Structure 1
Amino acid sequence: MVNMIPIFVILLSTLLISSHGNAIESPLCGGRVFVENAIVIEAPVHEDCHWDIHTQEDRILVITALSGNLKEAQEFLTIHDGSGKDSPILIVENQKIHERSRKDLPEAVYTTQSTASIRFKKAPTSNLQLKIQKAVDCPFNLGGESQCGRVVDEVSCYCATFTGRYHSSQTTYCNNNNMKLLTLETYEKEQAIHAAWGNEVYFWTSLTDAQQEGVYIWESTNTNLYPGYANWCTGEPNDGRGVQDCMYINYESNGCWDDNDCEIYELDAICQAIP
């Protein structure tokens, strides 16, 4: 017998796979779906609807409710950490909250691996939409003198290290923990970082003009600063002594940006991991 893929599965894949981060809705029930960035699934109008969800192997999944309540939804569905029939069931109450995570993030459940299954035991009595996103795993710390959390959104992770190091050493430290030294592309992101760690003093970032004087690049993403968001302190950058090639956040001056010598001063740093 020739193996055939059911038409609804083909249609499901076409509707739900998102290549540009746009959540796409589908009324179809069940199937196997790859999450490139984010998808939205509608609750079924009947029972026994089963979704197998997966994303890239070095990422995890986070599930939130766009409409309806995720805690109340557990009366109608189960979310399994993995695609196997005996995979552990994830519930909102069991999700550990990082010390520095934003308090206004939506209720969510996180997998510990790149796969999950959602099984509707019965149809909900009200409209329910589940948003499923690719996320990074977030440790609770990176060892002594560090803090981590979902500081900006529910899919990324940020960790502050309060051990002073030279700029290159902080870059290596982040890389060794599967993260990158901080980038600040928007005012909103900087405000989120400020809300988490603005009571500290100095943090190295990955912004530098070491390769070409005056041409600032976020090394962690290899993108130019300009045109883009910037928050330099008054009179900065001034390239003092001709060797100040690395940018740090100066919380003694309300969190504006300053340049300094990369290998003379040992400052704290913030690492980031973004899906």
Structure 2
Amino acid sequence: MSLSALGDVDIYHADSLEVARSLASESFTLIYLDPPFNTGRTRSRPPTVAPDSAPATAVPYAGFRGRSYQRLRGDLRTYDDTFDDYWGFLEPRLIESWRLLADDGTLYLHLDYRESHYAKVLMDALFGRDKFLNELVWAYDYGAKTKRRWPTKHETILVYVKNPARYWFDSDAVDREPYMAPGLVTPEKAARGKLPTDVWWHTIVPTKGHEKTGYPTQKPEGILRRIVQASSRPGDRVLDLFAGSGTTGAAAAVLGRHAVLVDTSAEAVAIMSARLRHAHVHADADVSASDR
């Protein structure tokens, strides 16, 4: 495990589970997880950790129609023979993330259509259905389109809160977006824009855009900026266990949060380190300008 620090961002080059287990309980207001999607392609990753190694307190919940958590896992394994391996990788990291989440904290799990429905059922069983807050749909219209089915142009973000009575959510802090039919609202409302709903229309990172790092699964800063604005406060701690190109850290740095980023890839760590040096330059410039 290696650790480097860039201002308010700590970057770990290590396995995400190893790092998560080393961190203090309830120390993060926001946790964003964008794990490798279960596409069926070969991925380089550490050996699977057996789900049975999870703490006993993590699995007592009844799930869908009252079935036990272990029964749910068995049922889903029957329908998808690749599922158990994927969940064996992801489940212990989710359990640790839940331990690390503060009482007023929020967990965002970013998946695609192959796994989001499985994850919803099992996270309900793992954490409790009352902890589920939202299903966010990030929709975009870019890239190749098949003519043999409806083209898949969205990803899903599942949102869970540690304590439904106390979680932090600040809609006033979120950047607003244009109305799709501005003529139907007053000029004042049109100028202000509207609060985003649970469907987010946002382009992917443009090939020649200023954000582009070359990292293959890079997410746009606009998506992470919205998440950080809504579910954390300035000075709060934000965790990303699959940090990739460092988008979470870039958004957090500009917004005055402390980010902890983890990735097993040396390439990812190099990319995010270079990117965040620039992010801190811009953040410092914004602070200096506001003081004048």
**TM-score, with length taken from structure 2:** 0.30
The structure richer in strand per residue is 1
Bigger Cα Rg: 1
The structure richer in helix per residue is 2
**TM-score, with length taken from structure 1:** 0.31
Greater RCO, 1 or 2 (C-alpha within 8 Å, sep 6+):
2
